[in-house]
């Protein structure tokens, strides 16, 4: 794809070459208040969504896990506990500010022995093929410019029998819930962003990026096209969030 072609950044069309930088600016802006805003925006329910994603990942002691778009490390913290000292968890993010926030948070919690940190683009992973038992991405796929490439990379670095788990905002399963969610997303979220983070525009983008993300069946099809098998998904909170899972067989 040439630099003259465009892609969506929220509801706007921007040159493909600019999207990653614009997304980086958003997360540079919100990094310091990211955890607080997550609690406020979801009323704390994001912790239950992440717990369910960890359960569906089926990670076991001694395994290797790669968490993409890891943010402040909620998933990595739990995976680190599960895999134990013989396992390895790689916390990866394309955004240096978010990765640093996550590293500091986990170091403060004493999570140092089996954790590594990697500044990496999900579309071009710097890891050998068939290296990880599980690859996860939580609330990050919607920000990737070429989602198909990221899914192919997730499949490539998985060992045979490995699982890819995608936790992401999705599409409500009823019209009534969808309308209420729209009202909340485009009224409450920017207002919270203004009051707490002094940045309503970043949270308006986040709401728009959710609406532009593929629905549940479309994303499942994209995973299958990327070579993942036995793909399925689980709707949470009426489809506001979905967990997709696929395997490399």
Residue 97 covered by a domain? yes
- 130-149 pLDDT, tens digit each: 999 999 999 999 999 999 99
Dist CA 168 CA 218 (whole Å): 13
The pLDDT score that the predictor gives to residue 163 is: 98
Residue 116 covered by a domain? yes
Dist CA 3 CA 122 (whole Å): 19
Q: What are phi and psi of 94, to 5 degrees?
A: -80, -15
Q: Which residues, in sequence order, are bridge partners of residue 153?
A: none
| Interstrand relation of 132-138 and 64-68 (parallel, antiparallel or unpaired) | parallel
Task: Give the structural domain span for 62.
Answer: 19-172+206-247
- Select the more confidently predicted residue: 111 or 229: 229
Residue 56 covered by a domain? yes
Q: Where does the pLDDT of residue 2 fall: very low under 50, low under 70, confident under 90, or very high at 90 and above?
A: very low
**For the chain, what percent of residues have pLDDT higher than 70?**
98
Residue 133 covered by a domain? yes
Dist CA 243 CA 233 (whole Å): 5
* pLDDT reading at 1 higher than 50: no
Assigned token pair, 190 = 């920017």
Into how many domains does the chain fold?
1
pTM of the model: 0.91
Residue 191 covered by a domain? no
Question: Burial of 1 by CB count in 10 Å (0-12 exposed, 13-18 middle, 19+ buried)?
Answer: exposed
| CATH at 127 | 3.40.50.150
Q: Which residues, in sequence order, are bridge partners of residue 135?
A: 66, 164
Q: Are 127 and 154 in contact (CB under 8 A)?
A: no
Q: Where does the pLDDT of residue 207 fall: very low under 50, low under 70, confident under 90, or very high at 90 and above?
A: confident
**For the chain, what percent of residues have pLDDT higher than 90?**
70
Helix (H, G, I), strand (E, B) or coil at 233: strand
What are the angstrom distances between the C-alpha of 194 and each of 99, 183, 245? 24, 17, 35
* pLDDT reading at 15 higher than 90: yes
Residue 3 covered by a domain? no
Beta strand extents in 94-195 (DSSP E only): 115-119, 132-138, 158-169
Mean pLDDT over residues 70-75, rounded? 93
Which H or E element spans position 8?
Answer: strand 6-9
Dist CA 84 CA 178 (whole Å): 41
Q: What are phi and psi of 174, to 5 degrees?
A: -130, 150
* pLDDT reading at 103 higher than 90: yes
Dihedral over Cα of 169, 155, 34, 80: its sign: positive
Residue 5 covered by a domain? no
Helix (H, G, I), strand (E, B) or coil at 128: coil
Residue 48 covered by a domain? yes
């Amino acid at each position: 794809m040439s630099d003259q072609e465009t892609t969506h950044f929220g509801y706007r069309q921007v040159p493909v070459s600019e999207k990653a930088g614009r997304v980086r600016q958003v997360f540079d802006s919100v990094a310091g208040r990211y955890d607080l805003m997550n609690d406020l925006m979801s009323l704390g329910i994001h912790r239950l969504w992440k717990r369910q994603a960890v359960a569906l990942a089926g990670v076991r002691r001694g395994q290797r896990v790669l968490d993409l778009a890891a943010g402040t490390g909620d998933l990595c913290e739990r995976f680190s506990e599960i895999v134990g000292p013989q396992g390895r968890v790689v916390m990866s993010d394309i955004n240096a500010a978010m990765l640093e926030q996550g590293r500091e948070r986990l170091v403060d919690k004493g999570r140092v022995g089996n954790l590594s940190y990697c500044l990496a683009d999900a579309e071009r992973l710097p890891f050998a093929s068939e290296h990880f038992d599980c690859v996860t991405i939580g609330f990050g796929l919607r920000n990737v410019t070429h989602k198909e490439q990221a899914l192919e990379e997730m499949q490539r670095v998985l060992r045979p029998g490995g699982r890819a788990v995608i936790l992401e905002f999705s599409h409500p399963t009823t019209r009534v819930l969808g309308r209420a969610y729209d009202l909340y997303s485009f009224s409450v979220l920017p207002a919270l962003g203004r009051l707490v983070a002094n940045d309503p525009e970043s949270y308006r983008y986040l709401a728009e990026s959710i609406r532009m993300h593929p629905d549940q069946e479309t994303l499942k099809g994209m995973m299958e096209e990327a070579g993942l098998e036995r793909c399925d998904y689980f709707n949470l909170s009426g489809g506001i969030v979905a967990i997709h899972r696929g395997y490399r067989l």
